[in-house]
Structure 1
Amino acid sequence: MEVSDKELDETLFSPLVTPGSICAVFGLRGVGFSVIMGCKSAGASRIIRIDLNKGKFEKAMAVGATECISPKDFTKPINEVLSEMTGNNVGFSFEVVGCLDTMVDVLTFCHSNYGTSVVVGAPPATKMLTYDPMLLFTGRTWKGCIFGGWKSTDDIPKIVTDFLARKFDLDQLVTHVLPFKKIQEGFELLYSGQCIRTVLTF
């Protein structure tokens, strides 16, 4: 059976997010920005970014976020803030930090009955995750995500083709270009949260 280009695009950009849905994304590094772009391509109606680093909010809005908030600006738990902002209607939440505590918190961001929470950030290998099973018993779905859920052999050529056709713009994620001899500076920019992605030239 043949698959149309439109169906391929929908499969590539939205293996999870449905059009018109509300998404909450916790974490504003390179992968987090990519999640924003993916949610936008999938047709999400609202994409709310949650992060402590407000210096990246403007860039997040530029790539597709509709709102950006910091937990530091509120006295109540951020899941309650999101519930009030969205009428308790977050369909998809993404943890892109790799912290066990935030993984459980981000699970509570999504709707208790039909919401789906995706763990994108890599968790510490030596620690175990504990959580209240009632968070899942009521109907939430919790899943992990490696490589966006794509099959590299089949999907990488399609991603490259779509990038060359300018269906999405990765240039927005490159904030610094440095010569290779300044690689240490690149790491410092990364660890300090001053960059999204740095390209090293040879």
Structure 2
Amino acid sequence: MNKKAEKFDSLDYFVCFLQSSIVVVVMFKLSSGGLGTTLNVAKPKKGSTVAIFGLGVVGLAAAEGARIAGASRIIGVDQNPKRFDEAKKFGVTKFVNPKDHDKPVQEVLAEMTDGGVDRSIECTGSINAMISAFECVHDGWGVAVLVGVPNKDDVFKTHPMNVFKGKALCTMDIHYKIGML
């Protein structure tokens, strides 16, 4: 052990180890939960429109993935307007705050995009955001990817016809992968 390491007592070492583990988990979520999910699961095409639900760390990584893939419109959806300026640095071109509208955000997005977005990535874990992310994708080819994890008692409710309109719903089991670290 070097002299610097000897100065740490076991509690300091544990705290440092815990902080280091948290950084590893956050970085894993950043690459696999946001960026990786966007590039490898949602797979937006060049020129497509992508909605990102939640502009926290995972959502910003998802936005960066959409930018890298060549999406021409990246719409950030978040209830915290303070996140909008930071999101621009990751390619977000338009912002929607659900609190600013009298109708469901999926309807707002459908109107903004002539029928729906090509891809949506949900990064909040809110069941309402998950439903909105699924319902805002375009009929026939839209793909919604759920990264966030809902409460175990939440119920995903949507109109049954949404399933028959050609919309796809995918999930990313990030917690299983984090457990593999």
TM-score normalised by the chain length of structure 2 = 0.70
* Residues 1:17 and 1:52: Cα distance change in structure 2 (over 3 Å): same
1:116 match? 143
1:55 match? 82
Task: Please say if 1:26 is aligned against 2:33.
Answer: no
How high is the sequence identity, in percent, across the aligned residues?
35
2:53·2:59 contact (CA, 8 Å) conserved in 1?
yes
1:41 match? 68
How far does residue 118 in structure 1 lie from its aligned partner after superposition?
0.6
Displaced runs of 4 or more, over 4 A: none
2:127 match? 100
User: Please, which runs of 5 or more residues in structure 1 have no aligned partner?
Assistant: 1-10, 154-202
2:117 match? 90
How far does residue 102 in structure 1 lie from its aligned partner after superposition?
1.9
Q: CA RMSD in A?
A: 2.5
Structure 1 Cα separation of the partners of residues 107 and 153 of structure 2: 31
1:125 match? 152
- Bigger relative contact order (CA 8 A; separation at least 6): 2
How far does residue 126 in structure 1 lie from its aligned partner after superposition?
3.8
The secondary structure found in structure 1 opposite 2:61 is helix
Deviates more, 1:49-58 or 1:102-111: 102-111
The secondary structure found in structure 1 opposite 2:89 is helix
1:13·1:41 contact (CA, 8 Å) conserved in 2?
no
Alignment of 1:43-192 (within 5 A): 43-147=70-174
More helix by proportion, 1 or 2?
2
* Residues 1:128 and 1:88: Cα distance change in structure 2 (over 3 Å): closer
* CA deviation map 1:154-198 (0-9, x unaligned): xxxxxxxxxxxxxxxxxxxxxxxxxxxxxxxxxxxxxxxxxxxxx
TM-score normalised by the chain length of structure 1 = 0.63
Deviates more, 1:100-109 or 1:46-55: 100-109
The secondary structure found in structure 2 opposite 1:104 is helix
**In terms of Rg, which structure is larger?**
2
More strand by proportion, 1 or 2?
1
